Amino acid sequence: MSAATGRRTDGGGGGHLLGIDGMDRSDIEEILDLTDTFAEIGRRPIPKVPALRGRTVATVFFEGSTRTRMSFEAAARRLSADTVSFSAGTSSLSKGESIRDTVEVVASYGADLLVVRHSMAGTAHRVAGWTDLSVVNAGDGCHEHPTQALLDCYTVRERRGSLDGMRIAIVGDIRNSRVARSNVLAFTALGAEVVLVAPATLLPPSILGWPVTVAHELDPILGDIDALYLLRIQSERITEGLIPSLREYASDFCLTASRVARMRSDALVLHPGPTNRGVEISAEAASDQRSVILDQVVNGVSVRMAVLFLLLGSGRQLGAVDAGDSVEGDR
């Protein structure tokens, strides 16, 4: 596995999770299997284990995010790791400020692992090249968001047992979506078939080499899919001339009550959140029994626990994870 793109497990620490690119089915399944263990911890009265006691996880967010950061921090604390955080909205971070300097400063606080988010593709990869610490990519521009893809796979697998042979439609702003890029790779690695559904302007300029098919209309395929993955659409796409209006987008692609009713009863509806109600999905559809949007949020913490545990190692073999000791803690 490439150290630059995949997860390294050569010893206790220093490995990275930079993207789904470079991971194969067994790499992904190893994480999902371990996630089962941590999901169980999350259901305990005191959902905390000492696995990473004494280790420090730093969240380094150069782009605004609340949910992803909270999810990583919750995961770290459930493993008894300490957390430090650095955040700079792109607006407050003056152009030209050296990210390398920032990373060195954060590392000097004793961090063992950096969770990095940035508005530009490749930044987590660059950070990984500058430091001996483990790096987890929490979203790099339009490139990848690997823990999101892992939690999505986990959520689908939890409901359906396996992704093998499933037909999953990813709908919306695929062009600008790191979630879509990671999920195309992850879903197909686990045996699913992926169809991208979007107006032509919201597709990547080239999908040469992508293991997908493309559709420009949602309605004709609604009854023929096992899962519908809705992406966020941002109003900037209108000023960029990619779509005429949110109203027109919603009329073609919003998952309304009538559209969700046309889906198979065992089909799933996913969304990385936060949802724009009435644009990507209606309130009725979001509360439909097919919707697993809240499961995604819950599973996000468990998946991130598994990732942190794998990378920081804690000096144990993966097969001998002793996650059984709950500790009294700072709940």
Which residues here bind another protein, judged by CB under 8 A? 4, 95-96, 98-100, 118-123, 125-126, 130, 140-144, 178, 181, 204-210
How many CA within 13 A on the CB side of residue 305?
A: 28
Pairwise CA distance, residues 35 & 22, whole Å: 20
User: Which is nearer to another protein, 4 or 298 (by Cβ)?
Assistant: 4
For residues 154 and 157, what is the distance between their CA atoms, to the nearest angstrom? 5
In DSSP notation, 229-283 reads EEPP--THHHHTTSSS-HHHHHHHH-B-HHHHHTS-TT-EEE--S---BTTTB-H
Nearer to another protein, 157 or 181 (CB): 181
| Burial label, 152 (beta-carbon count in 10 A; 0-12, 13-18, 19+) | buried
Tell me if residue 213 falls in helix, strand or coil. strand
Q: With both helix axes pointing from N to C terminus, report the angle between 67-78 and 146-160 in degrees, rounded to the nearest 10.
A: 70
Q: Report in angstroms how near the CB of residue 217 gets to another protein at its nearest.
A: 22
> In angstroms, what is the minimal distance from the CB of 261 to another protein?
35
Q: Which is nearer to another protein, 12 or 122 (CB)?
A: 122
- Least separation in angstroms between CB 112 and another protein: 23
CB of 250 to another protein, least distance (A): 26
Name the residue nearer to another protein (CB basis): 117 or 157. 117
Residue placing its CB nearer to another protein in the complex, 194 or 254: 194
Nearest to 145 by CA among 61, 223, 81: 61
Nearer to another protein, 104 or 248 (CB): 104
Place of tokens 């949007």: 293
Q: Look at residues 285, 295, 293, 153 and name the one whose alpha carbon lies nearest to residue 222.
A: 285
Q: Least distance from C-beta 181 to another protein, angstroms?
A: 6
Shorter beta-carbon distance to another protein: residue 123 or 148: 123
β-bridge partners, 167: 193
Of 5, 42, 70, the C-alpha closest to 306 is 42
> Which of 77/181 has CB closer to another protein?
181
Shortest spacing between CB 121 and another protein, in angstroms: 4
DSSP 139-206: EETTTB-HHHHHHHHHHHHHHHS--TT-EEEEES--TT-HHHHHHHHHHHHTT-EEEEE--GGGS-S-
Alpha-carbon distance of 156 to 166, in angstroms, equals 10
Which C-beta is closer to another protein: that of 144 or that of 152?
A: 144
As measured in angstroms, the least distance from the Cβ of 117 to another protein is 12
Tally the residues of the chain. Answer: 331
Least distance from another protein to the Cβ atom of residue 54, Å: 31
| Closest approach of another protein to the CB of residue 202, in Å | 13
d(CA 48, CA 62): 29
